Structure 1
């Protein structure tokens, strides 16, 4: 069970988040919705443990992977090395299998700058999933993609979630993405942002929520 209790998050005098409280069951996928700039990415960084300067408490597993808005790959390393260096226990054969699973096995020796944006995002997904994280946090991973590539990425994400069964917290501005991937949605609004809709018991289906 992942427990989020953010009493307050501010940058200086600029208060971003207040009274954000919810829980996520093991293996559940929850989407966080809200307008651009509302504080969704800030909340995700708190949940992932990247930013610990807040008032409150977050209980989460130690095995966490994050998919950022930008691929954030190692530009001086090949696609294959972006997997094996981040996951030292991953053998080359397994890493090549991961690249084959995401459809870029023939790009193993290329550097990120030689890949298309869609291919870079596929590699970022593989890097996250190959470690079989207990918690996967995803920050608008399909932004700036054309519709066909975004659809391919959504299909790939669905398949990888089904295969590895992590708990997933997804930030998105897209209702369609949330409906496609998440069992439950939580909406942020206001200044500072707080939860205005969607909190239900962990594991609840949408029809169970009020």
Structure 2
């Protein structure tokens, strides 16, 4: 169980988040939606432990993976090494199986810049799931993809989540994405932003 209890978050003198409190159970997918600039990514950074300067408390497991808006891959390392370097204990064979699971079979030697944006997103997913996360955090993972590629990536993400069953928190501005992937949708609104009652 992931427990999030944010009492407030300030950037200087500006309070951007008010009370934001929710839990996520294992196997549950929670979508966080709201207008652009409302603070959705700030909530994700707090939940992930990247931003620790807030009032409140977050309980989360150590086994965690983050999928950012951009793939954030190591451009100077092969696809296989992008998995091996970030997942201790993963074998080269395990990395190749993880790549095959996301449709990148035989691309282990390719470097990220030799892959299309869609393939880079697949590699980012492979890296996230290779570590068997108990908590998966995704920040607008389908942004800037054309509709056909976004549909493929949503289908792949659905499959991976169903197999691994992590507690999942993802931010999206697209209601259709939230309705498709999430078991529960949270709405962030107001100034400072809080969850809609």
Question: Which residues in structure 2 correspond to 1:158-169 (within 5 Å)?
Answer: 158-169=158-169
Aligned 1:14-163 pairs, distance under 5 A = 14-163=14-163
Question: 2:88 & 2:8 partners in 1: Cα distance?
Answer: 37
Render the CA deviation track for 1:21-76: whole Å, top value 9, x for unaligned.
11111211100000011100000010011111100011111111100011001111
The alignment partner of 1:3 has SS state of: strand
- Name the counterpart of 1:184: 184
Unmatched 5+ stretches in structure 1: 198-210
How much does 1:17 deviate?
A: 0.6
d(CA) in 1 for partners of 2:20, 2:97: 40
**Which residue does 2:170 correspond to in 1?**
170
- How many equivalent pairs are there? 197
d(CA) in 2 for partners of 1:19, 1:2:
17
Write the distance in 2 (CA, Å) between the matches of 1:96 and 1:2. 31
* TM-score (norm. length: structure 1): 0.92
Q: Deviations over 1:127-172 (max 9, x none)?
A: 0011110000100000000011101100000000111110000110
Partner Cα separation in structure 2 for residue 89 and residue 43 of structure 1: 30
Cα distance in 2, alignment partners of residues 145 and 10 from structure 1? 32
Q: Distance in 1 between matches of 2:124 and 2:35?
A: 25
> Which residue is 1:13 aligned to?
13
CA drift of 1:107 comes to: 2.0
Structure 2 CA distance for aligned equivalents of residues 12 and 62 of structure 1: 30
Structure 2 unaligned spans of 5+: none
TM-score (norm 2): 0.98
